[in-house]
Amino acid sequence: MTSAASVRVIAPGGTIGILGGGQLGRMTTLAAARLGYRTHVFCQRADEPGAQIASARTLAPFTDEAALAAFAAAVDVVTFEFENIPVETLIALAKRTPVRPSPTVLAISQDRLVEKEFLAGSGFLTAPFAEVEDDAQLAAADARIGRPSILKTSRHGYDGKGQVRLALGDDAGAAWRTLGRAPAVLEGFVRFSTEASVIVARGLDGKTVAFDVTENRHEGGILRESRVPAQLLPALMAEAQELASRIAITLDLTGLLAVELFVNRDGGLLVNELAPRPHNSGHWTIDAAATSQFEQLVRAICGLPLGSAARTADARMLNLLGEEAQDWRSHLADPGARLHLYGKDEARPGRKMGHVTWVSPLPKG
Ligand SMILES: Nc1ncnc2c1ncn2[C@@H]1O[C@H](COP(=O)(O)OP(=O)(O)OP(=O)(O)O)[C@@H](O)[C@H]1O
Ligand SMILES: [Mg+2]
């Protein structure tokens, strides 16, 4: 007898379609392979990190309907490893094959304004924000939010790109021009004491499992390092995990959700942004959790039971940006370091080329 639930399970041997060719898809492919799955990466170039190691690849624009139809026919489930994909692409795929997380989740998370309106409308706290689509809105937003503030393009931002900080006396109009006057969100600057994130998985059965809260340090808008355990009160960490689970449930998400948080000086939590996919701040889970975030994604979207998110060690993850990845010899010589390189050949400044994780006992520093 086959129940409805078992029909939806994609057993090992199946093929996971991944939209996007970056390192997140690459590490998902590695985790999928360990469980006996194949992956089929849909991206633009064969040398992208995920495409290099996938079992199959489709190299085409996300708008190529014939390529999408063939891709859908070749895979058992589709997921995505970045948000800059047209929602129409996911909607077209969803007519032919399961897409997890859903097109609706992508639509919310790929636009900062829509995302913040979703959060605020569902009762989750964020920094004060206002929509900016024309000069009048910019002036009104500036007056309401005050300074300091951050103007962010609603779409296509990552690693701090598409953002300008506004201090007292700065010209808001000039700042918006540097963003090409693209639709934007003006946010109040949060004087947080800590940045943290929680990655939660939600299975096909609706069960959620959250990883430990990660403490993050950014430099120039780019994640530099993540540490677990976070130096926060246990009750606050439990609250953060609970918050992330509630957001995943509100989104009716199947897959992974990363929730980036600001911890206020008074201990309050504000949601900075959502990413419905594996997240850079969760890379430590490969080396220091019972189940990695990538395996957890595979389990969630294939309808398998979620794994234990138990942490097996304290960990510190350092991103290797640009030329730093050329230091691989020293990391390989360090017995406590676990080196992960993404196979990118062009080491542009600030580009994420790899990461190193140290697990306990952690070296000093
Ligand atoms: N309202 C804010 N107040 C204070 N700092 C902020 C605010 N918004 C962003 N930042 C800082 O800039 C960093 C990057 O911002 P944000 O997460 O919005 O951008 P992003 O480009 O989408 O980043 P990523 O893709 O790396 O998550 C934040 O992690 C935080 O350090
Ligand atoms: Mg961010």
- Please indicate whether residue 165, judged by its CB atom, sits closer than 6 Å to ligand 1: no
Distance 43 CA to ligand 1 centre (A): 26
pLDDT band, very low/low/confident/very high, at 158 (cuts 50, 70, 90) = confident
Q: Nearest ligand to the C-alpha of residue 152?
A: 1
pLDDT band, very low/low/confident/very high, at 365 (cuts 50, 70, 90) = low
CA 237, distance to chain mean position in Å, is 19
- Please indicate whether residue 272, judged by its CB atom, sits closer than 6 Å to ligand 1: yes
- Please indicate whether residue 195, judged by its CB atom, sits closer than 6 Å to ligand 1: yes
In DSSP terms, 68 is beta-bridged to none
* CATH level 3 topology of 4-99: Rossmann fold (3.40.50)
- Please indicate whether residue 150, judged by its CB atom, sits closer than 6 Å to ligand 1: yes
Distance 274 CA to ligand 2 centre (A): 8
The pLDDT of 152-168, averaged and rounded, is: 93
CB 213 within 8 A of CB 241: yes
Q: Is the pLDDT of residue 129 over 50?
A: yes
**Residue 313: what are its φ and ψ, rounded to 5°?**
-165, 165
In whole numbers, what is the pLDDT of the chain averaged over residues? 96
**Protein residue with least CA distance to atom 13, ligand 1:** 221
- Please indicate whether residue 221, judged by its CB atom, sits closer than 6 Å to ligand 1: yes
**Protein residue with least CA distance to atom 25, ligand 1:** 158
- Please indicate whether residue 205, judged by its CB atom, sits closer than 6 Å to ligand 1: no
Q: Where are the domains of the chain?
A: 4-99, 128-188, 194-359
Task: Give the residue, out of 272, 281, 352, with the most ligand 1 atoms within 8 A of its beta carbon, to mutate for a pocket test.
Answer: 272
CB 322 within 8 A of CB 348: yes
Single pTM value for the model: 0.97
Q: Nearest ligand to the C-alpha of residue 192?
A: 1
Name the CATH code of domain 194-359 (choices 3.30.470.20, 3.40.50.300, 3.30.460.80, 3.30.365.10): 3.30.470.20
Q: Nearest ligand to the C-alpha of residue 352?
A: 1
Three-state DSSP string of the chain: CCCHHHHCCCCCCCEEEEECCCHHHHHHHHHHHHCCCEEEEEECCCCCHHHHHCCEEEECCCCCHHHHHHHHHHCCEEEECCCCCCHHHHHHHHCCCCECCCHHHHHHHCCHHHHHHHHHHCCCCECCEEEECCHHHHHHHHHHHCCCEEEEECCCCCCCCCEEEECCCCCHHHHHHHCCCCCEEEEECCCCCEEEEEEEEECCCCCEEECCCEEEEEECCEEEEEEECCCCCHHHHHHHHHHHHHHHHHCCCCEEEEEEEEECCCCCEEEEEEECCCCHHHCCHHHHECCCHHHHHHHHHHCCCCCCCCECCCEEEEEEEHHHHHHHHHHHHCCCEEEEECCCCCCCCCCEEEEEEEECCCCCC
Q: CA-to-CA distance for 300 and 253, rounded, in angstroms?
A: 10
List pLDDT tens digits, range 285-331.
999 999 999 999 999 999 999 999 999 999 999 999 999 999 999 99
Any idea which architecture 128-188 has in CATH? 2-Layer Sandwich (3.30)
- Please indicate whether residue 223, judged by its CB atom, sits closer than 6 Å to ligand 1: yes
Distance 163 CA to ligand 2 centre (A): 11
Atom of ligand 1 nearest to the CA of 162: 21
List pLDDT tens digits, range 71-91.
999 999 999 999 999 999 999
Q: What pLDDT sits at residue 2?
A: 44
